[in-house]
Amino acid sequence: MANLASLAAMVAAIPTPLPGEDRAQAAAQRVTPALTEALKPHGVSIGDPVFIRIVKEQRICELWIKTNENDRYALFKTYPVAGMSGTLGPKKKEGDQQAPEGFYSTCTGLLNPRSNYHLAFNIGYPNAYDAAQGYTGSFIMLHGKNVSIGCFAMTDPGIEEIYTLVAAALQQGQARVPIQIYPFPITEENLHTHRNSPHIDFWRQLAPAWQYTEQHQAPAPVAIVSGAYTLRDTNKTP
């Protein structure tokens, strides 16, 4: 009886998960078997470092995961962006209903398993570039459901997979997950097509980062210098 009493005391001492935490755990349990199998051909697993690349014009969200091959990332899966407001171009002020463009990241403290939109994480807008331009806004998320104003809605099944992979990578030691958002693939052809846009100079700032990822299969090492985006000095050149 003493052993049973001790066991009962131990069970009682385990904290009960909060509703949101339980929701994230349930989502992870649902998607883990399929994710595990889908990741095997890439030689990666849940918990490996990840990064996210969003392309607004195509309304897609790419999930990349780090391999053991020269720090390269494999494009694991492309998810449709189910809900997104605004037009091409950066977010500039609170309430403009515009989704951002540029270079952001999320971390453990920005995960929101209790979101009204199923599961969500904050992308970290505004960043230092936005602040230098005087841009305002807050609480820009990747989340579930299929509607959004200024955020990126991924549907519930989509966010369950993305959230699970992001949360696991952070739990396994990745400090921040890069989230790189483009208006369209930044090729010379597309820049020429959009040459008359008022955002063309901004988009040209994004071009080296796009080219870096295309060449090196890795998140671009972006820095903000004198209020402008630039690539950090590395041994790799785009």
Catalytic residues: 143, 151
Do 54 and 61 form a contact (C-beta atoms < 8 A)? Answer: yes
User: Counting Cβ atoms within 10 Å, is residue 40 exposed (0-12), middle (13-18) or buried (19+)?
Assistant: exposed
Do 64 and 53 form a contact (C-beta atoms < 8 A)? Answer: yes
DSSP codes, the chain: -HHHHHHHHHHHHSPPPPHHHHHHHHHHHHHHHHHHHHHGGGT--TTS-EEEEEETTTTEEEEEEE-SSTT-EEEEEEEE--B--S-SS---STTS-PPP-EEEEE-GGGEETT-TTSSEEE---S-HHHHHHT------EEESSS--SSSEE--HHHHHHHHHHHHHHHHTT-S-EEEEEESS---HHHHHHTTTSTTHHHHHHHHHHHHHHHHHSS---EEEETTEEEEPP-S---
